[in-house]
Amino acid sequence: MPFRHISEDFKVRALWLLDNGYVTEEVSDLLGVSTRSIARWRHNVANYGSVIPPRDPMQGRPRILNALQTDSVLELVEQFPELYLDEIMD
């Protein structure tokens, strides 16, 4: 199945169906989602208390500048807003 955004409310309702007597395969067919997705939502509720897990703090691209360098650049821009990027790099 292709990737698509599924709302939190939709996931909660799918789990409600499971809690009220439906079988995973029935919910999967009814809602058009995979059984693996339903299992992942159940796992998230059991471990995190929500169908949506917390964000991974390490997600994304690593920073090029450390905190000290970032502060220095911000101070330069505040003091001299007319500086060009190549001047800041020097």
In the structure encoding, which two tokens stand for residue 36, read together? Answer: 């693996």
Please tell me the pTM assigned to this model: 0.60
**70 Cβ neighbours under 8 A, 6+ residues apart:** 63
Our measurement of the distance from residue 47's CA atom to the centroid of its chain's CA atoms, rounded to an integer in Å, reads: 16
In the structure encoding, which two tokens stand for residue 53, read together? Answer: 């897990």
Q: How far is CA 81 from CA 56, 75, 89, in A?
A: 35, 10, 14
Residue pLDDT, tens place only, 15-65:
999 999 999 999 999 999 999 999 999 999 999 999 998 887 777 788 888
